[in-house]
Amino acid sequence: MRDLPPFSALRAFEAAGRRRNISEAARELYVTHGAISKQVKALEESLGVPLTRRAGRGIELTAKGRQLIPHLTRVLDDLDGALRAITSERFEGELIVSCMPGLAATWLIPKLPLFFESFPDISVTLLSASNEQRSAADLEILYGRPEWPDRNIRLLKTLDVFPVCSPRIMNGPEPIRKIDDLYKHVLIDEPGGAHWREFLVAQGRDPSLVRKRLRFEAFNQGILAARDGLGVAIGDGLTMASDLATGRLVRPLPAMVSRRSLAYYLVTVTDQPVTGPMAAFTDWLTSEIQRTAID
């Protein structure tokens, strides 16, 4: 018989260790902050070694914690995949999803193979959130304030925004070491420049001092420009998750802007019957965002 700690303690530590934050782990697992702390402490007592310690507003892992976390994450991912595989046969049919083009290009489309691996009998049609046909969508992934009438609204993720750039800029003649260094570079934004204006004002800086700007109507075009080293963009831990994980983009500064009034939401029409494909995609999307978003 395997002498293993309680599954709830392992699951709590994995979420807390992966996210480096007790509160974020609590939100991911739909429990309280105290419940996560209690389970992590119970695991440490069971193993007889410390796994975490406080670090500012979050936590950091001890050497033993860093040793354990990748194995635990892999085991839970394998278990999640196995459970999805044996239940996926219940879900088949068509699903129409509307999503913002930027999020679709940078995050959703690269993740869809994982969805099809778990639910091979579901066909997906992906519409742009700006498409006139979006009213035909079963599910909408939107960003903003939850002010859509006659809709069921489910919070997916609230994230801070921060500057990102190519490593080439950081290794170049004018690396970004402080906020004022941003003025030396091209700042990439959408038309109107609202994102950089908001960020600079929040840092106590004057947006009118920006000398070089590059603006794109499409968000993902700005990301491509940032990857190519054309300037510094603004993004969040969801749309930038893959680029940050692979090193195509880096965060030159720790500074960020909290956007607690804005978030990603999953939206459906009120009183719309929930189909099997809708339920499968909702559960998968919620889990995948919590798993991959960088805070």
- Together in a domain, 226 and 188: yes
Mean pLDDT of all residues belonging to the chain: 88
Could you give the angle at the alpha carbon of 274 between the alpha carbons of 119 and 272, nearest 5°? 140
Whole-structure pTM value: 0.66
In angstroms, the Cα distances linking 202 to 98, 205, 259, 292 are 32, 7, 11, 27
- Express as a percent the part of the chain with pLDDT over 90: 48
pLDDT at 201: 94
CATH value at residue 206: 3.40.190.10
- Together in a domain, 238 and 165: yes
User: What angle, rounded to 10 degrees, do the helices at 7-19 and 63-87 form?
Assistant: 110
Look up residue 99 and give its amino acid.
C
Last residue of a domain, one of 86, 104, 128: 86
Low-confidence spans in the chain with pLDDT less than 50: none
Sign of the torsion formed by the C-alpha atoms of 51, 28, 157 and 222: positive
Look up residue 275 and give its amino acid.
T
Q: Is 254 contained in some domain? A: no
pLDDT at 85: 66
Q: Which of 176, 163, 182, 294 is nearest to 233 (CA)?
A: 163
**Domain limits at 25?**
7-86
CATH value at residue 60: 1.10.10.10
Q: Is 108 contained in some domain? A: yes
pLDDT at 80: 79
> How many structural domains does the chain have?
3
H/E stretch holding 52 reads strand 52-55
pLDDT at 4: 83
- Together in a domain, 194 and 133: no
